[in-house]
Amino acid sequence: MGAAPDARAEALVASYERAGYGRVAPALLQPAEPFLDLSGEDIRKRMYLTVDPGGRELCLRPDLTIPVSRDYLASPQSGKAAGYCYLGPVFRHRDNGPNEFLQAGIESFGRNDTAATDAEMLALGLEAATHYGMTAPDIRMGDVGLFAALVAALDLAPAWKRRLIKDFNRKKSLAQDLERLSLATTNGHPEYQGVLAALAGADPKGAHALVTDLLSIAGITAVGGRSVGEIADRFLEQAALGAATSLPRETREVIEKFLAINGDPDDVVEKLRALANGTVTALHPAIDLMESRTGFLAARGIDVRSIRFSTAFGRGVDYYTGFEFELHDPKSDGANPLVAGGRYDGLLTRLGANAPIPAVGFAVWIERLANGGAQ
């Protein structure tokens, strides 16, 4: 019959309800497009897809963040501060373990006290681990907002900035990406360099419409889960990258110095301040936010010295925009988080909100916790 909640999982979610998070149960069958457009590569390639009689592509929900976000936007609470919790099955192909498995979690929308809400998510995530008898999980933390602030301050073409931030959220090594991006990109696809050269510098909307039309004329509707629009975006990005010569050596050195910073949050703040004072003063507001979050974590009784913070840490989820974290079993190989989440302030507008809505949350892998970190 698949995954079913047990009494211990129900008790966990009941504790979230007592903390003020309303319980919700989004539909199992969801429109596929938001997941294909907005999730990370790891989720996209593991989805279970189908098509309804009208030709609309659907999927079994691979996670609950997007479904809860969509339901929130469709509710009277949209745009207001609201928090939700859940417990139910999600569906992803996995080589080892069942393809249907339970997740619990929390999603918090519309709160502007960013640092305090981030700290609350980690504290509630730690409560889930404690609930299952794991009192001292490994805490891994990062903040893609720091990297975005760094990239925004660098003297780079917009296409380079988008590419670097996108690469940060992928599982592949950013160091390898920087090596590739440091070379002249025009060597990458000689078979269509003429088209790329012709499009480089063109009006963005006109170029996008032209490429989309050409793809449609060729009968291309989708490739590897990517829409025609996404393929056109990717093609035009290559044109913009190809117009540049290379990633300047000095810029690469600054990025690599930033990505090498790690330690507990207080140590990392000190190292980031030194970098910001030396070369990238625009980093200070993002560092201030991190420092404030660390203060709220300490106020909640969390030993911040036990947190492993890395500026290179990313969860491979494309919609994260800030704080990210994972809790792991110290005895495991570290491949599978027990609890994981982060901030995704840009997701709601991409799902149709008229204005930005702050959002942060986390998911709990019930079977992993119940099995002491396995699966």
Mean pLDDT of 319-347: 93
Two tokens, residue 180: 């590739």
Each residue's pLDDT tens digit, 306-320: 999 999 998 888 899
pLDDT attached to residue 234:
60
pLDDT attached to residue 334:
74
> Does 233 score more than 70 pLDDT?
no
Average pLDDT, the chain: 85
Q: What angle do CA 104, 108, 110 make, to 5 degrees?
A: 165
* Top mean-pLDDT range of 49-58, 73-82, 213-222: 73-82
pLDDT attached to residue 309:
98
**In whole angstroms, what is the distance from residue 200 CA to residue 294 CA?**
44
Mean pLDDT of 204-212: 65
**Is 95 strand, coil or helix?**
coil
Between helices 249-259 and 174-181, what is the axis angle to 10°?
Answer: 180
> Does 322 score more than 90 pLDDT?
yes
pLDDT attached to residue 187:
47
* Residue of 259, 264, 43, 316 lying closest to 141 (CA atoms): 264
Exposure string for 120-146, b = 16+ CB within 10 A, e = fewer: bbbbbbbebbebbebeebbbbbbbbbb
Each residue's pLDDT tens digit, 141-167: 999 999 999 999 988 777 778 878 888
Distinct helix (H) and strand (E) counts, the chain: 16, 14
Residues of the chain with CATH 3.30.930.10: 7-137+329-370
Given a contact cutoff of 8 angstroms between Cβ atoms, the answer to whether 192 and 2 are in contact is no
pLDDT attached to residue 3:
66
Q: 7-137+329-370: what CATH class? A: alpha beta
DSSP state of 156: -
Between helices 284-299 and 114-131, what is the axis angle to 10°?
Answer: 40
The CA radius of gyration of the chain, in Å to the nearest whole number, is 21
pTM score over 0.85: no
Between helices 158-168 and 174-181, what is the axis angle to 10°?
Answer: 160
pLDDT-derived band at 208 (thresholds 50, 70, 90) equals low
> Does 176 score more than 60 pLDDT?
yes
pLDDT attached to residue 7:
93
How many CA atoms does the CB half-sphere of 286 hold within 13 Å?
24
Mean pLDDT of 201-230: 63
**Is 263 strand, coil or helix?**
strand
Q: Where are the alpha helices (DSSP H) in the chain?
A: 7-18, 33-38, 41-44, 65-73, 114-131, 144-153, 158-168, 174-181, 193-199, 204-217, 228-243, 249-259, 265-278, 284-299, 347-350, 366-370
pLDDT attached to residue 185:
43
Cα distances (Å, whole numbers) of residue 172 to 42, 121, 145, 148, 364: 11, 27, 19, 18, 24
Each residue's pLDDT tens digit, 98-141: 899 999 999 999 999 999 999 999 999 999 999 999 999 999 99
What amino acid occupies position 95? D
